[in-house]
């Protein structure tokens, strides 16, 4: 029987792309969501084997979503996908019982292996011989990821000699840059989707067009949002 999964990504286009990728690997995608709250609700109604989170969602960090769903339904696995370069080494991947942080750039075979491994671990830890405090300790340890990411961000800003306060204040003296051509923005967004999902450029563009049609938005707005998310995750 196929494993049941919920896909929780930061944008509809990315949720669809990951869902198609998982379906091609033989998984049963039972829900596609874009927020932590929706993911928790989906876990309660669909009882999946695993939830795949983006590292950042509109209502919080993916790692917090992972904690929420594994506590909402013991035995559920949660995988958080991040483009952090440290995750390129699978052997060094952070893994806390039913929760794992994995590379968003992993190939299909490795993604499949990761999901299968964490699902097996989550199921084992849901058995009666595992005391609840042990399970909680494993999930609570994920909180440390936020500290690591915060430290990385501070070091990056310090290396560029940019005062941290400047990140929260928009300069009124900034010169407006020349607008990038519409076609170039869309092409860059398509490239981002291709890099993260391994879809063809044509399929990536189709996903963006479908999201634009469903939401009643211009495709340029969709493309700009995708690029902003990529910059934030870099």
Going from N- to C-terminal start, the domains of the chain cover 4-150, 182-233
Instruction: For residues 118 and 111, give the distance between their C-alpha atoms in angstroms, rounded to a whole number.
Output: 11
Q: Which residues touch 202 (CB under 8 Å, ≥6 apart)?
A: none
Which tokens in the block code for residue 42?
């989906």
Closest by CA to 149, choosing from 193, 197, 98, 87, is 87
How many Cβ atoms from other residues are within 10 Å of residue 73's Cβ? 16
- What one-character-per-residue DSSP string does 7-71 give? EE-SSHHHHHHHHHHHHHTT-EEEEEESSHHHHHHHHHHH--SEEEEESEETTEEHHHHHHHHHH
Higher pLDDT, 150 or 126: 126
**The CATH number of the domain covering residues in 182-233:** 1.10.10
Q: What is the pLDDT of residues 30-86, one digit of tens each?
A: 999 999 999 999 999 999 999 999 888 888 778 788 888 888 888 999 998 887 777
Does 203 have pLDDT greater than 50?
Answer: yes
Q: Which residues touch 109 (CB under 8 Å, ≥6 apart)?
A: none
Average per-residue pLDDT for the chain: 77
Q: How would CATH label the architecture of 4-150?
A: 3-Layer(aba) Sandwich (3.40)
Q: What is the pLDDT of residues 91-144, one digit of tens each?
A: 766 667 788 888 888 899 999 999 999 999 899 888 765 545 444 554 554 444
Angle subtended at Cα 76 by Cα 81 and Cα 45, rounded to the nearest 5 degrees: 105
Q: What is the pLDDT of residue 169?
A: 31
Q: What is the pLDDT of residue 171?
A: 29
- This model's pTM is above 0.85: no
């Amino acid at each position: 029987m196929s494993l049941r999964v919920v896909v929780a990504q930061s944008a509809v286009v990315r949720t669809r792309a990951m869902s198609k990728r998982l379906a091609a690997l033989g998984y049963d995608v039972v829900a596609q969501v874009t927020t932590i709250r929706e993911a928790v609700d989906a876990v309660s109604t669909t009882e999946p084997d695993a939830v795949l989170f983006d590292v950042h969602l509109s209502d919080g960090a993916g790692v917090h979503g992972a904690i929420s769903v594994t506590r909402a339904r013991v035995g559920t696995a949660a995988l958080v996908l991040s483009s952090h370069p440290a995750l390129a080494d699978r052997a060094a991947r952070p893994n806390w019982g039913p929760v794992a942080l994995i590379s968003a750039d992993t190939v299909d075979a490795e993604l499949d292996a990761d999901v299968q491994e964490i699902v097996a671990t989550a199921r084992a830890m849901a058995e009666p011989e595992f005391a609840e405090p042990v399970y909680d300790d494993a999930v609570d340890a994920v909180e440390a990821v936020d500290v690591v990411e915060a430290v990385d961000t501070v070091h990056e800003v310090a290396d560029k000699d940019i005062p941290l306060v400047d990140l929260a204040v928009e300069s009124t003296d900034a010169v407006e840059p020349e607008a990038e051509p519409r076609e170039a923005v869309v092409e860059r967004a398509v490239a981002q989707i291709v890099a993260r999902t391994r879809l063809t450029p044509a399929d990536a563009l189709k996903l963006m067009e479908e999201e634009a049609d469903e939401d009643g938005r211009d495709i340029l707005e969709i493309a700009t949002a995708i690029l902003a998310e990529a910059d934030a995750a870099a």
